[in-house]
Structure 1
Amino acid sequence: MDIEKYYTQANALLKGHFLLSSGNHSDHYLQSAKVLENPKIAQELATALAQQINAAKIQIDCVCSPAIGGILAGYELARALGVRFIFTERVEGRMTLRRGFQVSLGEKILICEDIITTGGSALESAQCVEFEGGEVVAYAGLANRGFCKRVGSSLPRKPEARLPEHIPFFALEDFVFNMYDPKDCPLCKQGQEAIKPGSRGN
């Protein structure tokens, strides 16, 4: 499956100067919402991801995603896997499980994002469900920014990766773009303003 083609056709592979949720800057950005706005494509991508996960024979009782970005991908993946879906969200800067969602003791949970960069938001969601007694058995994303080591990829894990190495991470493709510390960003030095994706119609 050519995942880059899906993003390109949806005008979701953006080039410019972007401020990422991690605080770092990049010259590319994947806008998954533009891909997932088409329900048929969302279903196709989730089904392909579910096939990878099912092949690994991991028991999964529930999919959990961090809001907002991971909700569509996580919901479609849960449907493809035939399990329930919940999500976490930030309240005053802290990732929280709310809206009446509950996790059973020992419930086996997969954490799903649309895009995994360093895995910080996914890890925060994992900590939420673990606090409630759930067991995180896998991580997943439609695309991997190349920092975390995914199942089936030859790319090595980078020091910035935050996902635990002993838990499998599944994704459909690796996207390796430049990422810069804002203190040493060549685009900033050129006088280009960093845009936070979604803040100006992108």
Structure 2
Amino acid sequence: MLSLKKSLDILKKTNALLEGHFVLSSGLHSSKYIQCAKLLSFPYLANEICKSLANKIKKKYNKIDLILAPAMGGVIIGYEIGKLLKKETIFCERVNGKFKLRRGFNIKKGANVLIIEDVITTGKSSLECVKLIKKANAKLLGFASIIDRSTIKSLKIKTGIISHLKIEVPTYSEKQLPQKLKSIPITTPGSRFIK
């Protein structure tokens, strides 16, 4: 099992842990942002984190039929976990602002589906994926992510999340911004607002 210190060292080494003023895809503001795409751009460093997450998933679920990942952030981690667990892995992508299955992907009726993301803050993207699972009359097993940065206040998911790392980073609505954060220029990372 990878230690917290070693995990944070890998995130910093790959420039995946950023500091500044960010508007997250949830619309919330934060002083930190985890850009897992940077972590995953170094497969040899991300490998240990992926193995750790895959082991946690194996301990919790023994019957996974399919892994579903939301594009963009979940695509690579979904692929890596699917490879480690030897499971079919598909992704959904936004079409006119809503997640759809494309590219010939489908979810079989009755399939046990695990949703995998890079980072979960509110769980909004994951809950959008749940709609696709329900529409297919399949079964949601649960949620997994490299980083869980949710709080009881922010999380819309009511099921437990399996994550490699739980990071507590305060988030704020625009109306509740601390003065220190207001003075830093805003960066809008993520892919939810990409047209």
Structure 1 residues 65 and 198: CA distance shift in structure 2, 3 A: closer
Matches within 5 A, 1:93-104: 93-104=97-108
Does structure 1 residue 197 correspond to structure 2 residue 192?
A: no
Task: Determine which of 134, 141, 156 is the counterpart of 2:138.
Answer: 134
Matches within 5 A, 1:75-94: 75-94=79-98
Does structure 1 residue 26 correspond to structure 2 residue 26?
A: no
Structure 1 residues 189 and 77: CA distance shift in structure 2, 3 A: closer
Q: What corresponds to 2:50 in structure 1?
A: 46
Structure 1 residues 38 and 183: CA distance shift in structure 2, 3 A: same
Task: Name the aligned partner's letter for residue 177 of structure 2.
Answer: C
- Contact 2:30/2:172, CA 8 A, preserved across alignment: yes
Query: 1:21-67: per-residue Cα shift (whole Å, max 9, x none)?
Result: 00011000001111101222333222211111111243101111000
- Contact 1:50/1:81, CA 8 A, preserved across alignment: yes
Does structure 1 residue 159 correspond to structure 2 residue 176?
A: no
Task: Name the aligned partner's letter for residue 64 of structure 1.
Answer: L
TM-score, normalised to structure 2, is: 0.89
Does structure 1 residue 8 correspond to structure 2 residue 12?
A: yes
**Whole-angstrom distance in 1 between the partners of 2:21 and 2:181:** 12
**Whole-angstrom distance in 1 between the partners of 2:63 and 2:181:** 49
How far does residue 187 in structure 1 lie from its aligned partner after superposition?
A: 4.8
**Whole-angstrom distance in 1 between the partners of 2:181 and 2:171:** 14
Taking only aligned residues, the RMSD between alpha carbons, in angstroms, comes to 1.8
Structure 1 residues 69 and 189: CA distance shift in structure 2, 3 A: closer
Total equivalences in the alignment: 187
How far does residue 125 in structure 1 lie from its aligned partner after superposition?
A: 1.0
**Whole-angstrom distance in 2 between the partners of 1:189 and 1:45:** 30
Structure 1 residues 189 and 83: CA distance shift in structure 2, 3 A: closer
- Contact 1:13/1:29, CA 8 A, preserved across alignment: yes
Structure 1 residues 191 and 18: CA distance shift in structure 2, 3 A: same
- Contact 2:68/2:89, CA 8 A, preserved across alignment: yes
**Whole-angstrom distance in 2 between the partners of 1:189 and 1:71:** 31
Task: Determine which of 159, 173, 178 is the counterpart of 2:165.
Answer: 173
Q: Secondary structure at the match of 1:70?
A: helix
Task: Determine which of 56, 61, 86 is the counterpart of 2:60.
Answer: 56
How far does residue 146 in structure 1 lie from its aligned partner after superposition?
A: 3.5
* Identity score, percent: 35
Task: Name the aligned partner's letter for residue 92 of structure 1.
Answer: N
Higher normalized helix content (fraction of residues): 2
Unaligned runs of 5+ in 2: none
